[in-house]
Structure 1
Amino acid sequence: MARHDARNWIGLFCLVSSILTDHGVMGQRVKVEPEVLSYPGQTVNLRCAFTDATGIQLTMVTWIYEPKEGERINIAVLHPSFEPNYPLSPMKGRVSFSPSPPDLASPSIQISNVRMTDEGKYVCEYATYPIGNEQGITNLIMLAKPQNSASVVTVEAGTKPVVVARCESVDGRPAAKISWVTAATGNGTVVSKAGNDNTVTVSSEYRMIPTPADNGKDISCVVAHRTQAKPESFPLKLAVQYAPQVTIVGYDNNWYVGRTNVVLTCQATGNPVPISILWNTMSGVMPDTVQIKGNELKVLKVDEAVNTTFVCEVKNRIGTSRDQVTAIVRDTRLPEKGATTGSIIGAIIGVILLLAIIGTAIAMYKKHRKQKLSGEGPPKYKPPPPKKTNNINNGQGTVTYAEADDNNRALPLPNTAPSSEHDHMLNAEPHDEDEERAHYYSAAPSGWDDPQDSEVLPPYVPTNRDVQDHHRGLNVDRGDSFVSPAMFV
């Protein structure tokens, strides 16, 4: 049962695939261009061909115009047994088969002096036997390059949204797209309406609440259209009119009796430009020591008369604005301001940095000195040159001592006496300096310490002697020492 159902499903799938395949193949037999672009007044060619007529009889060809709105209309008919026919239509007199005489296998048409209203679908439909009707569809798109423009609207600062700029794309096909680029806070509105000869006119307005700060800001209208290689931009500047904004500068709160040539300046901005500036006082009386020149008020000498409120009034076409400052005359001059907090903080930071640098230098110097004292640097001791030496020969070899070093220690020196055994001993590598010293002094009498262990000069200094005097005892030159030689027991 399951196998029977599976076979039924497989058969159904093959049948559907076959139908879809046949339909696809047949749909490709009528070859047309999917889309054709044209401008008004041009001649447009709409191509059509039956690609494979093997086993098929081509009976008739009909071109059908299908507008975006309205019913389908036959505009051209071709039958192999009759002359071409052009039924009544908006294209009659402007449409014809091409080439002439026409070929049923390639029944292309041309439309001269095309209009914007000619835009729509054009169907090339074949009547065939035995497969029936076959068709191909071409979309004719009419293009019209629009006339673009933009402008600003001069407005007054207020509290309600108003139109500050306009942009327009007139008689375009298809409809243009308009956008705005600006730092001002607002939004654009777009309106489209039908134009002449099936064209479209697109208008856009930018609305915002204008403020004095918006005056002179950049705003650009950008128009994009299919006929343009790139969007067209119109840079503009907002024009917002406002009453003057007035500020008096120059008063430092240090007008003291006797001070001379102090100046107040009336600064004003406005759109349009202010046309008048007027100085006055709240009392209505201007002191005698005051001179006025344009937007500057100069006090030649400060006295009690200028202890008043000065007013600057500015006018333009939009309105009048004013600012005022009250001058307080002091008997004496205010003391000079001390260092600012920023200066104090800067000085403290500078001192801290200086101390850090000094501390770093000291630490580096101490480290260097420590390394030098610990012997990591070059040797600090330089032995003195030998002064005088005495030799002692015990028959086994010769050992020579200098008188003493700076610490009253006897220093061994090399002996140049010819002795092979002695040379052998000198050339031998010492194993342990402490061992050799202990061995050397082990035969000394009690109380004879290593000279390096004593800070006192030894009681005598050994001198050289000949080998022949080995059995005659130790000879000491009295001129060299006044101490009797030690006796060995």
Structure 2
Amino acid sequence: MTISSLSYPERDHSLSMEDEGRYTCIFTLFPSGNQKTEIPLNLLVPPFTNVKDNLPTLGKEEVLFATCTAAGSKPPAEVRWLTGALGDKVRTTTNSTHYDNDTTTTVSSLFGVPTREINGHQVQCVISGDSFFTEETLPFTIQVYFSPTEVNIRAISEDSFECVTEANPSANFTWSRSGQSLLQSAVKVEGAKLQLLSRTSDLNGLYQCEASNAYGRKHAQLYVHVASGTCSAAWASFAVFLFLNVIGAAAWWFFKSGHFQRFFPMHGDEHSDPPSPRSPGDGHGQDHQKLQREVSTVNLLKCECFPHC
């Protein structure tokens, strides 16, 4: 009988560390007799691998971003980080623990300062060793967690608005109305967006958008005023109001500065002395600044109208 014709029974057998050692194979050849040979059984144990996010929050001090672990390998695995363009903005440390069963756990840690600039950068943990046919690469995106920053409300259209902020994780948005409930028949809310479905005075009021996540909350406010009458009439009233205010302010300044007496002398004051020169810091300059402030205040007035301006 030749070796090629021998039949071996099939058997499922899951090897463990206890199976490692030297095995003796004894076989008989005719007419030479018994022969034996020793076969060493050395096990290669691939590790369990993972990357764990340490959930860093926004700050100015160095913290642990993540750990990459190769657990229970034989022989020990090599663990390293590929950080690309981050360069010296991050640093790594590696530690290994050897166990009685001759396996090793290797942990590599990634450190850095948790800023918004570093948030979202992608890195890779690369694990290699004799127990791998090919090296294993675990991608990881650095996450810096922070509460919503400044909240802004922007107009999408004349009757739609959106609440905008920056947060990680992404913020949840809640719209509310000061002192009143939202009119479900006249207002549509979808996440960060608020849409006014009608244009009646029932919608007038102060609306608030709150952005929140697990790390904090902030809000912004929007005042809605549906003007009665046409927008052109409102603009005409505004123009007349602005004109009268400017004329009145100019006349007041003209009188206070002394120019009124020069061009229109009062009876009994025809030979009065001309007004003394004024320094830049006296009442003349203050009057001029007050006029500018009044005009600026008027310019802040605006016409809010629906449906068209």
The two structures have a TM-score, normalised by structure 1, of 0.31
Larger CA Rg, structure 1 vs 2 = 1
| Higher RCO, Cα 8 Å, sep 6+ | 2
TM-score, normalization by structure 2: 0.46
